[in-house]
C-alpha cells in the first residue's frame, strides 16, 4: 500500500531525511526505532503532509503519488497520524470535533454521513472499549487533558476513523504502564488484513504489547538496519551506538 | 454646519417643547457646534477619527428626518422567544409593548422635555441631547423582575440616507429589581450616522443584563454611549457583539458607586473588509469591595481595524477593589490593525487589578492537527475562530438569551 523511495526532506535548508526507503503492505505492522534527531517525527510529518518541508523522492500510496495530496485528502484516503504532542484546541468540543472529522471523511468518500444519534452510539461504544471516560468527550479538545488522556484520545480518534495506514508517533511517551496497556489493546483491536501500522518509538517497551512484523532502525535520516521483532530486543541490549 | 443649523431649527420647530427644554437643547447644540465631531486629536478618539470617518463615508449629512417612515419587515422580529418590545424605526419610536408585564411596575415616559443638569460628556452626547426626536424612559419599580426580556429593535430602512439619527433611552431599575435587555440592530439603510445614548441607574440589589447585537452587515456609522450607575450590591452584565456596521464605537462609562457592586463587560469584535470598530470602557471603582471584569475577543480579516481602550480607575476610597481585563485578538491578514490601550489608574493600596493583551494569528500546528483529521483548511480555521470567540459568548449568564444570541450570531458549541 505504501512505497517510499529515496525520500529526502529538508527544513530550513537542514537535511533531515537523506534517502529513506520503506515498503509497507496491507496488514503489516512496521516499527521504526532510532535515537533523538534521527528524523522519526519528520517522517511522520512528511507522510501526513505537514507544511514547511522541502521534500523529494517518491512516495506511492495505493498507486497514487502521496506527496501531491493535501493534508486532508490524505486523511480522506485513510492515513492517520497519532500525534506525539496532541494539540489543545480551546473552544472546540471534543465530541463535535470527532463528528466533524468522521463526517468530513465519509463525505469525501461518498459515504453516508452519521447523524447525531448514530455518531453518539459509535463514540460510546469505542470509548468504552478503550476504557475512556465519556465525560471527557464533552470537554474542549485536549484542553486540560492529562498526558495519558491525550494519547488515549488519539487512539479513540483512530478507532472511530478506522484508517488504512496508522502512523503512531511516539504514542508511548509519557504513558504509565496501565495507559500503555489500554492504548496497545486499542491498537491491537484495529489490526486486520487491510490496515497497516507504522509505529515510531524510542524504546522497545511498546513493542512488547504491539508485536511488529518488521523493525527498522533509523539513524541520521536513513534506515540502517531492518529485521523482525527480535531486532528491537537486540537494540535494547546494545543501543544504537553499534549501528551508527 | 449650515445644514446642521437649518436642521436644528426644524427639529425644535417640529417638537412642542417647553422653553426650559429648548434652552437645554440650544446649550447642547452650541457645545456640539464648538467641538464638532471628535477627531484623533481628542485622546479618547486617537484610534478612531470620527470626523474623518464621517466625512469620507457620508456626503451631505442631514440631521433631520421628515420623510415617511416606510414599512418595517416584521419577519425580522425574533420569534419563538417571548419578549417585550420597543421599536425605534429610523430613529422614531413606532412601538412600545410591555404586555407581559404588570403595568404598575414598569413605568414608561416619552416626554421629550429634558433639562437635566448633567455634565458635558463629549460632543456626540451633546449632539444627541440637542437633536433627539424620540425618547423613552423606563422605570422598573421596587421588587419587580420583568417576566420577559426587553428587546429594543433599532431598525433602519432604505428610505434613510445620509442622515444622523439620535436615540436616547434612560432606564432606572429600582431596589431589588431586574431587567434583561437586548439591543438589536437591524440595518437596511446606507451611509447614515446613528448616535445612541443610554443611561442606566441600577439601585441597591438590582440587576441589569444588557446585550448589544450589531450583526447585520451595513454601511452605517454608529456611536453608542452607555452610562451606568451602580449602587450597593447591584450588578451590571454587558455583552457586545460588534460586527455589522462599517464603523462602530461602543463606549461604556460605568460608576461603581457603592460597596459590593460589580460590572461585567464581555465583547466580540469580528470584522472584515475595511470595517473599523472600537470598544472603549471606563470603569470607575468609587467604593470598597467593588468588582469589574472585562473580556474582549477580536477577529480581524482583510483590511479591518479593531480597537479596545479599557480603563480601570480606582479611587482612594475604593479599597479591596477587584479589577480585571483581558483582550485577545486574532489578526488573519497582514493588512489588519488592532490597537489595544489598557489603562489602570489606581489611588488605593489594597486592590487586586490586572490586565492582559495578546494578538496573533491562528496556530498553524492546530490547523495541521485538524486537517490531519480530514477537515479542510477553511473548516479548520472556522472551527478555531468559533472556539476563540465562544469563550466570550459563554460568559453570558442567562441561558435562554445565550442560546438565542448564539443562534443570531452563528456561533456554535
How far, in Å, CA of B162 to CA of A31, rounded?
71
Q: Residue A243 pLDDT more than 80?
A: no
A93 to chain B: which residues are within 8 Å by CB? 413
d(CA B387, nearest CA chain A) in Å = 4
In contact, A159 and A130? CB cutoff 8 Å: yes
C-alpha distances in Å from residue A191, one per residue of A15, A101, A159: 34, 22, 10
Largest CA distance in chain B: 72
Q: Do B373 and A101 touch (CB under 8 A)?
A: yes
d(CA B257, nearest CA chain A) in Å = 35
- Count the Cβ atoms, other than its own, within 10 Å of residue B67: 10
Task: Name the residue facing B373 among A51, A91, A157 (closest C-beta).
Answer: A157
C-alpha distances in Å from residue A243, one per residue of A192, A235, A240, B246: 33, 9, 5, 66
How far, in Å, CA of B15 to CA of B134, rounded?
10
B411 to chain A: which residues are within 8 Å by CB? none
Beta-ladder partners of B284: B255, B313
Query: What is the pLDDT, as a whole number, of residue B75?
Result: 77
A49 to chain B: which residues are within 8 Å by CB? 371-372
Q: Do B412 and A96 touch (CB under 8 A)?
A: yes
Which chain A residue lies closest to B376 (C-alpha atoms)? Answer: A72
Whether A47 and chain B come into contact, CB under 8 Å, resolves to: no
Whether A142 and chain B come into contact, CB under 8 Å, resolves to: no
A87 to chain B: which residues are within 8 Å by CB? 363, 365-366, 369
Task: Say whether A193 sits in a helix, a strand or coil.
Answer: coil
Whether B143 and chain A come into contact, CB under 8 Å, resolves to: no
How far, in Å, CA of B297 to CA of B396, rounded?
14
In contact, B304 and B271? CB cutoff 8 Å: yes
Q: Do B372 and A92 touch (CB under 8 A)?
A: no
Residue B265 has which C-alpha cell? 463587560
pLDDT band, very low/low/confident/very high, at A232 (cuts 50, 70, 90):
confident
Give me the helix-helix angle, B364-371 and B377-393, nearest 10°: 120
Q: Where is average pLDDT lowest: A112-116, A128-132, B36-40, B385-389?
A: A128-132
Query: What is the pLDDT, as a whole number, of residue A131?
Result: 81
Task: Say whether A183 sits in a helix, a strand or coil.
Answer: helix
Residue B13 has which C-alpha cell? 420647530
Which chain B residue lies closest to A52 (C-alpha atoms)? Answer: B364
Whether B368 and chain A come into contact, CB under 8 Å, resolves to: yes
Beta-ladder partners of A226: A216
B393 to chain A: which residues are within 8 Å by CB? none
Q: Residue A56 pLDDT more than 80?
A: yes
Query: What is the pLDDT, as a whole number, of residue A197?
Result: 96
| Range A85-107 average pLDDT | 94
Q: Do B372 and A86 touch (CB under 8 A)?
A: no
Whether B413 and chain A come into contact, CB under 8 Å, resolves to: yes
Task: Say whether A14 sits in a helix, a strand or coil.
Answer: strand
Query: What is the pLDDT, as a whole number, of residue A236?
Result: 81
d(CA A76, nearest CA chain B) in Å = 6
Measuring CA to CA, which residue among A37, A141, A86, A51 is closest to residue B384? A141
Superfamily of domain A2-243: P-loop containing nucleotide triphosphate hydrolases (3.40.50.300)
Judge residue B316's burial from the number of C-beta atoms within 10 Å of its C-beta, 0-12 exposed, 13-18 middle, 19 or more buried: exposed
| Residue B255, φ and ψ in degrees, nearest 5 | -105, 115
Whether A104 and chain B come into contact, CB under 8 Å, resolves to: yes
Q: What is the ipTM of this complex?
A: 0.95
Q: Residue A100 pLDDT more than 70?
A: yes
Q: Do B386 and A104 touch (CB under 8 A)?
A: no
Q: Provide CB contacts within 8 A for A165, sequence distance 6+.
A: A1, A2, A24, A61, A78, A79, A80, A195, A196, A197, A198
Q: Do A104 and B368 touch (CB under 8 A)?
A: no
The domain segmentation of chain B, as residue ranges, is 2-363
If you ran DSSP here, which 8-state letter would residue A140 be given?
A: B
Q: Do A90 and B388 touch (CB under 8 A)?
A: yes
Digit-coded pLDDT (tens) for A187-200:
999 999 999 999 99
Query: What is the pLDDT, as a whole number, of residue B117?
Result: 64
Residue A122 is inside which H or E element, if any? helix A116-129
Residue from B366, B369, B395, B412 whose CB has the most chain A CBs within 10 Å, to mutate: B369
| Residue B30, φ and ψ in degrees, nearest 5 | -65, -35
Task: Going residue by residue through chain B, which has 413 residues, state the pLDDT in tens, using 9 for 90 and above.
Answer: 788 999 999 999 988 899 999 999 999 999 999 999 999 999 999 999 999 999 999 988 999 877 777 777 777 789 999 999 999 999 999 999 999 999 999 999 999 887 676 678 999 999 999 999 889 999 999 999 999 999 999 999 988 999 999 999 999 999 999 999 999 999 999 999 999 999 999 999 999 999 999 999 999 999 999 999 999 999 999 999 999 999 999 999 999 999 999 999 999 999 999 999 999 999 999 999 999 999 999 999 999 999 999 999 999 999 999 999 999 999 999 999 999 999 999 999 999 999 999 999 999 999 999 999 999 999 999 999 999 999 999 999 999 999 999 999 888 87
Q: Residue A244 pLDDT more than 70?
A: no
- Supply the DSSP string of B146-215, one letter for each residue: -SS-EEEEEEE-TT-BSBEEEEEEEEEE-TT-EEEEEEEEEE--BS-EEEEEEEEEE-TT-EEEEEEEE-
Q: Is B293 left (phi over 0), alpha (psi -120 to 50) or beta?
A: beta
A44 to chain B: which residues are within 8 Å by CB? none
Q: Provide CB contacts within 8 A for B253, sequence distance 6+.
A: B121, B225, B226, B227, B228, B281, B282, B284
In contact, A204 and A33? CB cutoff 8 Å: yes
The domain segmentation of chain A, as residue ranges, is 2-243
Q: Do A101 and B386 touch (CB under 8 A)?
A: no
Q: Do B372 and A71 touch (CB under 8 A)?
A: yes
A97 to chain B: which residues are within 8 Å by CB? 370, 373, 383
Q: Provide CB contacts within 8 A for B52, sequence distance 6+.
A: B39, B40
C-alpha distances in Å from residue A54, one per residue of A18, A37, A69, A176, A180: 12, 17, 15, 36, 34
pTM of the model: 0.91
Amino acid at each position: 500500500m505504501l512505497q517510499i523511495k529515496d525520500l529526502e526532506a529538508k527544513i530550513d535548508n537542514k537535511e533531515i531525511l537523506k534517502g529513506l526507503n520503506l515498503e509497507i503492505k496491507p496488514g503489516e505492522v512496521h516499527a521504526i526505532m532510532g535515537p533523538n534527531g534521527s528524523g522519526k517525527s519528520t517522517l511522520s510529518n512528511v507522510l501526513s503532509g505537514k507544511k514547511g518541508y522541502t521534500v523529494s523522492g517518491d512516495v506511492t500510496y495505493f498507486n497514487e503519488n502521496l506527496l501531491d495530496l493535501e493534508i486532508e485528502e490524505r486523511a480522506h484516503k485513510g492515513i492517520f497520524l497519532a500525534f506525539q504532542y496532541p494539540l489543545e484546541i480551546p473552544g472546540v468540543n471534543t465530541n463535535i470535533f470527532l463528528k466533524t472529522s468522521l463526517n468530513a471523511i465519509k463525505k469525501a468518500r461518498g459515504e453516508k454521513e452519521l447523524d447525531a444519534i448514530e455518531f453518539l452510539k459509535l463514540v460510546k461504544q469505542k470509548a468504552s472499549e478503550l476504557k475512556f471516560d465519556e465525560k471527557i468527550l464533552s470537554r474542549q479538545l485536549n484542553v486540560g487533558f492529562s498526558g495519558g488522556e491525550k494519547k488515549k484520545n488519539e487512539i479513540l480518534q483512530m478507532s472511530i476513523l478506522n484508517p488504512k495506514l496508522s502512523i503512531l508517533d511516539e504514542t508511548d511517551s509519557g504513558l504509565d504502564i496501565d495507559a500503555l496497556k489500554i492504548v496497545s489493546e486499542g491498537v491491537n483491536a484495529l489490526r486486520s488484513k487491510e490496515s497497516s501500522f507504522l509505529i515510531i518509538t524510542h524504546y522497545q517497551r511498546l513493542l512488547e504489547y504491539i508485536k511488529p512484523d518488521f523493525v527498522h532502525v533509523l539513524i541520521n535520516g536513513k534506515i540502517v538496519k531492518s529485521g523482525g521483532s527480535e531486532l528491537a530486543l537486540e537494540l535494547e541490549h546494545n543501543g544504537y551506538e553499534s549501528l551508527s | 454646519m449650515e445644514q446642521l443649523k437649518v436642521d436644528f431649527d426644524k427639529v425644535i420647530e417640529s417638537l412642542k417643547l417647553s422653553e426650559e427644554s429648548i434652552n437645554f437643547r440650544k446649550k447642547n447644540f452650541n457645545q456640539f457646534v464648538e467641538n464638532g465631531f471628535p477627531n484623533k486629536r481628542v485622546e479618547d478618539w486617537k484610534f478612531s477619527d470620527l470626523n474623518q470617518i464621517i466625512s469620507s463615508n457620508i456626503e451631505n449629512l442631514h440631521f433631520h428626518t421628515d420623510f415617511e417612515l416606510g414599512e418595517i419587515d416584521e419577519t425580522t422580529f425574533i420569534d419563538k422567544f417571548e419578549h417585550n418590545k420597543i421599536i425605534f424605526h429610523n430613529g422614531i419610536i413606532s412601538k412600545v409593548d410591555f404586555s407581559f408585564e404588570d403595568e404598575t411596575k414598569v413605568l414608561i415616559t416619552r416626554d421629550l422635555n429634558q433639562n437635566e443638569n448633567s455634565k458635558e460628556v463629549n460632543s456626540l452626547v451633546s449632539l444627541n441631547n440637542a437633536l433627539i426626536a424620540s425618547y423613552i424612559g423606563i422605570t422598573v419599580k421596587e421588587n419587580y423582575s420583568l417576566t420577559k426580556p426587553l428587546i429594543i429593535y433599532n431598525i433602519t430602512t432604505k428610505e434613510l440616507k445620509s442622515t444622523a439619527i439620535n436615540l436616547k433611552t434612560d432606564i432606572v431599575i429600582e431596589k431589588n429589581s431586574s431587567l434583561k435587555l437586548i439591543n438589536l440592530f437591524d440595518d437596511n439603510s446606507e451611509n447614515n450616522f446613528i448616535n445612541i445614548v443610554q443611561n442606566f441607574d441600577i439601585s441597591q440589589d438590582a440587576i441589569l443584563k444588557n446585550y448589544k447585537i450589531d450583526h447585520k452587515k451595513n454601511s452605517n456609522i454608529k456611536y453608542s454611549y452607555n452610562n451606568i450607575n451602580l449602587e450597593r450590591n447591584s450588578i451590571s452584565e454587558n455583552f457586545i457583539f460588534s460586527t455589522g456596521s462599517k464603523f462602530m464605537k461602543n463606549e461604556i462609562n460605568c460608576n461603581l458607586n457603592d460597596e459590593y457592586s460589580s460590572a461585567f463587560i464581555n465583547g466580540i469584535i469580528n470584522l472584515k473588509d475595511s470595517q473599523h470598530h472600537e470598544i472603549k470602557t471606563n470603569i470607575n471603582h468609587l467604593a470598597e469591595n467593588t468588582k469589574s471584569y472585562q473580556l474582549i475577543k477580536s477577529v480581524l480579516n482583510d483590511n479591518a481595524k479593531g480597537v479596545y481602550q479599557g480603563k480601570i480607575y480606582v479611587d482612594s476610597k475604593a479599597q479591596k477593589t477587584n479589577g480585571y481585563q483581558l483582550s485577545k485578538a486574532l489578526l488573519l491578514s497582514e493588512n489588519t490593525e488592532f490597537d489595544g490601550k489598557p489603562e489602570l489608574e489606581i489611588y488605593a493600596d489594597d486592590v487586586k487589578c490586572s490586565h492582559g493583551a495578546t494578538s496573533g494569528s491562528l496556530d498553524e500546528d492546530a490547523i495541521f492537527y485538524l486537517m490531519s483529521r480530514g477537515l479542510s483548511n477553511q473548516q479548520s480555521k472556522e472551527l478555531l475562530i468559533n472556539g476563540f470567540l465562544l469563550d466570550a459568548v459563554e460568559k453570558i449568564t442567562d441561558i435562554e438569551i445565550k442560546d438565542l444570541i448564539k443562534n443570531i450570531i452563528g456561533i456554535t458549541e
